[in-house]
Structure formats: C-alpha cells, structure tokens
Amino acid sequence: MLKLGVNIDHVATLRQARYRSAQYPAGNPRELSGAIPEPDPVWAAVEAELAGAHGITVHLREDRRHIQDRDVRLLRQTIRTRLNLEMADVPAIIAFAEELKPDEVCLVPEKRQEVTTEGGLNVAGAPKSLARTVARLKKAGIVVSLFVDPDARQIRAATDAGADFVELHTGTFANARHELEEAAEIKKLTTAAELAHKLGVRVNAGHGLNYQNTPAILAVPHLETLNTGHSIMSRALFVGLRQAVREMLALMAPPTR
C-alpha cells in the first residue's frame, strides 16, 4: 500500500510569520509576552494522523525559518506514526538527529535564499563525508534517505553512499506544462525507481505533488511513500486538515475493481 507522509512545515511558517522571535531554545512554548504562538505544528501532526496519514515530515533548517528544535522534540514524543526529519548534511543537525533518533532522516540540499528545496542532492558530487554521515545515522538506528533527482548517476551514488531509500524529486514533473512533458517526466521517474529497486534501494517520492497531479505519479513503480505538504495545507484552509488528508489518501488508493 502506498503511504502518505504529511509535511507540516507550512504550519510553522504561518506561526513564525507572526511570532518571528519564537525560537524555543529550551522547549518553552511561550514568548516573553505570555502569548502562545499559533498555529502549533504538533497539533497539525495529530490532526493529520487522526485522518489516516502514515507519517509526519518536517524540515529542520539551519536558519530555523519555520520548524524549531522544540517542534521536533515534541513530535518525537507525541506522534504515533513515523517521524521523517529532513535536514542538510551539517554537523549540528546531524548531532541533533543522533540524539533525537527520528524514524527516518532524509538528507536534502539547502540554500538560505530558497523558499523551498529546489532540487535533488548532488550525491555524485558530494564529498566523502556524506557517506560517513549516512553511516553515523544508520549506526544510531535511523533509516536514511537521500533526496535526489531521477537521474541514474545520482541513484548509483546514493547506493554507494549506503542509503536505505532514495526520495525522488518530483518537482520537474509537478511543473510540467503539458501532457507530453508530464509523460516524459513520468518516464524518467519510472526509470530511476526501477534502477533503485534493482540496486536494492527503496523508493519514496515528493515535492510539488498536489490533488491534480498525484494520480499520474501512481504509475511510477516501487513507490512506498509520497511526502507532500503545501497542497494539503492549502486545501486545509477551506475544508480542514483532516478532510484535506483524507482527500489526498483517496487519490492515492488503488482503483477498485
């Protein structure tokens, strides 16, 4: 069964837009003024789980622009599904992950100026330290995924680095302007997924998936989890988070005969 990981970063983005100084270094949910910063991404995670989500994804960025350390710690204590922590290959956050022990870590590229992750990790061009990071995280009992473009060179490099999973970057597919372009991207994703499977690496996918394009991505073989957030949070503004998650799950369900 194809699983849904709900990314709740944008709940924290909305909170930080109002409570910009709320960093919670000691896990305190209150600001100096006594106001409780809202909306709380931990609450959103619980709502997503109650609707049937199979996991929760958060990206702890170096600049803490949305998700905070406090959020990840509380999520680890609160959620009953799987916690997938997206992060860059940087020492401080690697140490944080080793201490926290999320169910899964997805290593992603990160730029300060980007609004959201813009492409896959260049595993083939990465220093040898990336393989050491993968080994460290796996030693801590954490499943490790590498976020990569659907490119054979990157898939092979992810295998060489020791990754358990690749998460295929679906952003180019999501930005396809017409059916022929979309079909070409599906073919690339299919080829990449088949290669990963052949090499013994499991396959997830995510980025830019929404209620319109998700049915097409189901043609890609060997997928285990789709990670998506922005579209679900956007839909939730109008129908509520539980309903938004249920609608996405319905799109992902295999057709009944």
Q: What is the pLDDT of residues 143-157, one digit of tens each?
A: 999 999 999 999 999
Please state the domain count of the chain: 1
> Is 118 inside a domain boundary?
yes
In a domain, 115, yes or no: yes
pLDDT, one tens digit per residue, over 154-210 is 999 999 999 999 999 999 999 999 999 999 999 999 999 999 999 999 999 999 999
pLDDT band at 31 (very low <50, low <70, confident <90, very high): very low
Residue 52 lies in a domain: yes
What mean pLDDT is predicted for residues 6-21?
91
pLDDT for residue 170:
97
Residue 87 domain-assigned (yes or no)? yes
Active-site annotation holds for 169:
no
Measured in degrees and rounded to the nearest 5, phi and psi for residue 5 equal: -105, 120
Q: Is the pLDDT of residue 243 over 50?
A: yes
CA distance 184 to 147: 20
Looking at the domain assignment, is residue 158 inside a domain? yes
Is 86 annotated in the active site? yes
Q: What is the mean pLDDT of the chain?
A: 92
pTM of structure: 0.91
Catalytic residue among 10, 54, 59, 66: 59
DSSP per-residue letters across 200-245: T-EEEEESS--TTTHHHHTTSTTEEEEEE-HHHHHHHHHH-HHHHH
| Reported confidence tier of residue 126, pLDDT bands at 50, 70, 90 | confident
- Residue 91 has what pLDDT? 95
Q: Report residue 206 CA to chain centroid gap.
A: 7
Structure-token pair, residue 16: 């930080």
Task: Give dist(CA 179, CA 3) in Å, integer.
Answer: 26
Give the pLDDT score at 1.
92
Mean pLDDT of 204-223: 97
Answer yes or no: is 257 within a domain. no
Residue 34 pLDDT grade (very low, low, confident, very high; cuts 50, 70, 90): low
Do 27 and 21 touch, CB atoms closer than 8 A? no
In a domain, 45, yes or no: yes
Six token digits for residue 163: 């990754």
Q: Among 47, 49, 86, 110, which one carries the catalytic annotation?
A: 86
Active site residue 178: no
Q: Which of 10, 54, 66, 207 is catalytic?
A: 207
User: Are the C-beta atoms of 138 and 118 separated by less than 8 Å?
Assistant: no
What CATH number does the domain containing 212 carry? Answer: 3.20.20.70
The pLDDT value given to residue 249: 98
Q: Which domain holds residue 234?
A: 3-252
Residue 47 lies in a domain: yes
